[in-house]
Amino acid sequence: MAKKYDLAVAYRIYPGVSKVPPVFSDDKYMLSELCLKSFKESLGSLRVKMWVLLDNCPAKYTELFRKYFDDDCLELIELPGEGNAATFNLQLHILLGQKYSEYVYFAEDDYLYLPNQLENMVEFIRADRDVDFVTPYDHLDYYTLSLHDHQRTVKAFGSRHWMTAASTCLTFLTTKATLLDSCAIFNTYVQGNSDAALWLSLTKCKMFDLATCLKYFSKDWIAYHYRLAWHWCWWQLLFGRTYKLWVPIPTSAIHMENQFLSPTINWNEYLKREAAKLANELGQQTTSTKL
């Protein structure tokens, strides 16, 4: 019988920089270590089984994960450069097929986490049947784009408030049962759908809104994802159940993209301090404590 864990994680990483990070913008390895270190610290007391998808990564990336996690909880999968859609597809199949945990997490390599927040996210989804998906990222778009101008549910749990949202990126928490129920929608991403559109198909936010419908054939950014959602997932929109996606306020993590840092926290100061701390630890050749 497989050993049980609190959380099963499929973590994908590649050695390129696709965005403009606020720190280590020209050093993906240092950025990766900063994010992985924060990920480990966010887990708190959780027992985690991890699959690491190393997409065209040099050997030192393998050692990076072994630095922070023990071998018995790691599955290291080396890939020859499969790309975004293919590695997401592999995440999906791994987390659906594993028998280690009911709680599953899709992780990308350029997220920085606040301490103990993944532990809090797991506690939240365990405690509330109204929670289908949880993103760690309170995206700036939630406060600036008309796509997110919709009615929300807000509730308090633990140290944060949580609000419902229309969409997020591809780093998120759910249960294996919910993932199995919705995997056909996530599979459309591999076939050419966008991440925003698949989430809109799941949450159905504004998908039957008259004002949005009138923009259907326009060049508006929202209309583009609206068309994709209807093209790829019309059956889900018309006949599928409506899922709830929840966001922590304040954020539990940020996508390391300079222009879209979450509100309410002085990220420039925080990231400068964390980057300096990591550089100092590496300079002193300090070995981090493993889980």
pLDDT in tens, the chain (291 residues): 667 999 999 999 999 987 889 999 889 999 999 999 999 999 999 999 999 999 999 999 999 999 999 999 999 999 999 999 999 999 999 999 999 999 999 999 999 999 999 999 999 999 999 999 999 999 999 998 878 888 899 999 999 999 999 999 999 999 999 999 999 999 999 999 999 999 999 999 988 887 777 776 777 778 889 999 999 999 999 999 999 999 999 999 999 998 889 999 999 999 999 999 998 988 854 333 344
Cis bond leading into 21, ω under 30°? no
CB 136 within 8 A of CB 111: yes
What's the structural domain count of the chain? 1
Domain that holds residue 52: 7-283
Q: Does residue 291 fall inside a structural domain? A: no
User: Does 26 map to a domain?
Assistant: yes
Is 148 inside a domain boundary?
yes
35-70 per-residue burial string, b: 16 or more CB within 10 A, e: under 16: bbbbbbbbbeebebbbbbbbbebeeebeebbeebbe
- Residue 1: inside a domain, yes or no? no
- The pLDDT, as a whole number, for residue 64 is 97
211 falls within a domain? yes
Give the domain CATH number at 53.
Answer: 3.90.550
- Give, in order, the Cα–Cα distances in Å from 220 to each of 188, 203, 223: 22, 20, 5
Cβ(250)–Cβ(266) under 8 Å?
no
Does residue 28 sit within a domain? yes
Q: Are 109 and 13 in contact (CB under 8 A)?
A: yes
The reply to whether 79 falls in a domain is yes
Q: 161: which 2 tokens?
A: 């408030």
Is 51 among the domain residues? Answer: yes
DSSP structure class, residue 26: T
Question: What is the value of pTM for the model shown?
Answer: 0.94
Separation of alpha carbons 122 and 118, rounded Å:
6
Q: Per the structure block, which two tokens stand in for 143?
A: 């406060």
Q: How far apart are CA 273 and CA 94, in angstroms?
A: 36
Q: Could you tell me which residues come within 8 angstroms of residue 208 by beta carbon, excluding any fewer than 6 positions away?
A: none
